[in-house]
Structure 1
Amino acid sequence: MEQLNGSIPVDPADPLLSGAAALSEPLAALLPVGGRTPLRLAAGLLQTARPRQWIKNVLVVAAPVAAGDLFAHRVPLRLAVTFLVFTCASAAVYLVNDAKDVHADRAHPVKRNRPVASGLVPVRLAYATGLLLAATAVTAALLLCNAAAAGVVVGYLVLQIAYCTSLKHMLLVDLAVVAAGFLLRAMAGGLAVGLPLSRWFLITAGFGALFMVSAKRYSELVLMRDHGGRSRALLDAYSDTYLRFVWQLAGAVTVLSYCLWALGTADPAGAGAAGLLPWRQLSIVPFVLGVMRYAVFADRGTAGAPEDILLRDRPLQFIAVAWLAVYSLAVWNL
């Protein structure tokens, strides 16, 4: 073609050439772009599914741990299935979200490097993979868990897709919807193994999620204010004082509800009657310390990546292990 173009003059305004260019546009989407290969395509889909975010799905064990039934018959297997189900569901949401926001992401200095925005993963493929994963998640929950767990997964998918399309543009509603995603994970784990969900457990999990989500938004706002730029379409509608108020209030309600839960679930014969010490009530201490430790990062405006804090902060991990040890003693009545 280079030799031909060098010997034959070509008029860019030629209608035939323009028509050929227009015809080639839809065909270009079917051809390899930037060295697109099946391996790179699979890697792009995996990257779009946000593997680092899968740690959130560990919340499915929250209800069985709280009830002391984590190692009961068939519970670990059910929880493993529920974890995989929510991994598929959350990956589906990320794929659909990136496909929907492809034009906005291409105008963003960082998000334009995402696989869908960069053109590595075609938009239609992202949509198709997302829908396939969503259908797989619901079917697996229905066949391998129960109808209640499948209903929670459907609710999660509907809520998150609504968030991607419209709810993320509504003040405060966006915080509540993201927090609800965490709460639904915790609910699914309990329902999948047939556990009744305590009202105090739901309140603690819900406001704990709101605490982390609002701290994340506060950190994003502080980062935007200090370094310039814009992270979310709705972020500049918040003030840092308001978001600080939200995460402080949510943290206080989380601590209060956990205290009421721990104090209200004592052994009928009296606190500590079944064990050496009132371990369930004593678990309040590491729980409150954990909230206070996380609040350090929220106060600094560095809680923008909760998964990084949970995976890298040694004191917080030590507190979590201490809480688990004390609560385990309560469950085992030692």
Structure 2
Amino acid sequence: MTDTAVTDTAVLRQRAPEQQREPDPPRRARRVPAGLLRTARPRQWVKNVLVVAAPAAAGELFSAPAPARLALVFVLFTACAAAVYLVNDARDAEADRAHPVKRHRPVAAGDVPVPLAYAAGGALGVLAPVLAAWLCPAPVAVLLTAYLAMQLAYCVSLKHVLVVDLAVVTTGFLMRAMIGGLALGIPLSRWFLITTGFGALFMVAAKRYSEAVQMAGKDGATRALLTEYTTGYLRFVWQLAAGVAVLGYCLWAMEEGGVPHTSVLPWRQLSVIPFVLAVLRYAVFADRGTAGEPEDVVLRDRALALIGVVWLAMYGLAVANW
């Protein structure tokens, strides 16, 4: 071997460890804040828009204190939800590493240390209810505390209990819809609660059904209950929930439509049409097993978005008594 070859070999041996080293500390430090933000699930924050549901239904969305107070409630609920996501991902880090998609989550991938995820989740979980108790009516702080307790119990054990896991996730959506009314002191209609609750159960069961269909025969399912639920049972649940949600909305619309009004057309009653069409359109994705990410279905399907806009317009005209 020539002197040049020996020198090149030595250089390669010196470079090899450098090439195998982890990214430099500054680069790793920059990944942590981004990882924390990703773990907080910004794409899921669209669900928290439900805080405006009760005020919008009551026609109080633009009253004097409503916008600022609802913005505050949205931020507080988002902080609580982020706290739950952080704790959940810290607990499920090992299981997520075996999942074909969830292994890319920042905690599972090692971008965010597990202790830091726990600490950030704990800080948000304490701060949000304290701020709610200070800045909002007492029922808001109570509901946020109950939401956190329920969701953390879900992370620890309830997600392993058949049917209860569906009820807990559904209740989380219902709490989102209730908290705006509590913040403004608006009475909550029984039909509003029934429609919202069963509409949420419809989407939750459709999501579970889609996950079960997509993970059938595959390894790495992080939801143990997906192996215990049958697709037939989950299909039954989302179909039942869809039917009750539609019935509840029809009764709500007809009851409110009986109130004397001066509008050109009975918009509240007519809004039943786009509502039913929206449920039927979403059911297409549920039936195909492609409703695993509800926010993607709602935001990406143009027909569903158009139906939603029509429904909002009709309901807005009903509230405005136009």
TM norm structure 2: 0.89
Alignment of structure 1 residues 239-278 onto 2, 5 Å? 239-269=230-260, 273-278=261-266
Q: How does 1:75-224 map to 2 (within 5 A)?
A: 75-224=66-215
Q: Deviations over 1:104-158 (max 9, x none)?
A: 2234343333222222212211111101111121122222221111111111101
Does the 8 Å CA contact 1:216/1:298 hold for their aligned counterparts? Answer: yes
Q: Which moved more, 1:85-94 or 1:120-129?
A: 120-129
Aligned-pair distance for 1:33?
6.4
Match of 1:13 in 2: none
TM normalised by structure 1 equals: 0.86
Q: Across the two proteins, how many residue pairs are aligned to each other?
A: 300
The residue number in structure 2 matching 1:15 is: none
- C-alpha distance in structure 2 between counterparts of 1:113 and 1:252, whole Å: 37
Question: What secondary structure, in the 3-state scheme, does the structure 1 residue paired with 2:257 have?
Answer: coil
Please report the RMSD computed on the Cα atoms of aligned residues, expressed in angstroms. 1.7
The CA distance in 2 between the partners of 1:317 and 1:65, in whole Å, is 19
Code of the aligned partner of 2:198: F
Look up the SS of the partner of 1:275 in the other structure. Answer: coil
- Selected match of 1:300 from 261, 264, 288: 288
Q: Is the 8 A contact 2:198 2:242 kept in 1?
A: yes
Counterpart of 1:27 in structure 2 is none
Aligned partner of residue 41 in structure 1, secondary structure: helix
- The answer on 1:328 being equivalent to 2:308 is no
Task: Give the equivalent residue in structure 1 for 2:49.
Answer: 58
In the other structure, the counterpart of 1:70 is: 61
**Inter-CA distance 35–258: structure 2 relative to 1 (3 Å threshold):** farther
* Shift in CA distance, 301/226, structure 1 to aligned 2, threshold 3 Å: farther
Q: Which runs of 5+ in 2 are unaligned?
A: 1-20
Residue by residue, what CA displacement relative to the aligned partner does 1:294-320 show, whole Å, maximum 9, x if unpaired?
011011111001000111111111111
What secondary structure, in the 3-state scheme, does the structure 1 residue paired with 2:224 have? coil
Distance (Å, rounded) in 2 between the aligned partners of 1:133 and 1:46: 13
Classify 1:109/1:226 alpha carbon distance in 2 versus 1 (closer, same or farther; 3 Å): closer
Distance 1:197 1:50 in 2: 29
Amino acid at match of 1:205: T
CA distance in 2, matches of 1:107, 1:220: 16
1:39 matched to 2:39? The reply is no
Residues 219, 100 of structure 1: CA spacing in aligned structure 2 closer, same or farther, 3 A cutoff? same
- Distance in 1, Cα, partners of 2:22 & 2:178: 43
Q: Classify 1:33/1:115 alpha carbon distance in 2 versus 1 (closer, same or farther; 3 Å).
A: farther
Counterpart of 1:314, as a letter, is: R
Asked if structure 2 preserves the Cα contact closer than 8 Å seen for 1:34 and 1:120, the reply is no
Residue 283 of structure 1: aligned partner: 271
Say yes or no: does 1:318 pair with 2:309: no
Percent of counterpart pairs with the same letter? Answer: 63
For 1:64 and 1:327, how far apart are their aligned partners in 2? Answer: 13
Give the Cα–Cα distance (whole angstroms) in 2 for the partners of residues 76 and 328 of structure 1: 17
CA change 1:164–1:34 in 2 (3 A) is farther
Q: How far apart are the structure 2 equivalents of 1:257 and 1:64?
A: 19
Q: Deviations over 1:36-56 (max 9, x none)?
A: 533211011111111111111
Q: Is the 8 A contact 1:179 1:209 kept in 2?
A: yes
Structure 1 alignment gaps of length 5 or more? 1-31
Alpha-carbon distance in 2 for matches of 1:249, 1:283:
21
List per-residue Cα deviations over 1:186-240 (Å, max 9, x = no partner).
1111111111111111111110000000000111111112766535111010111
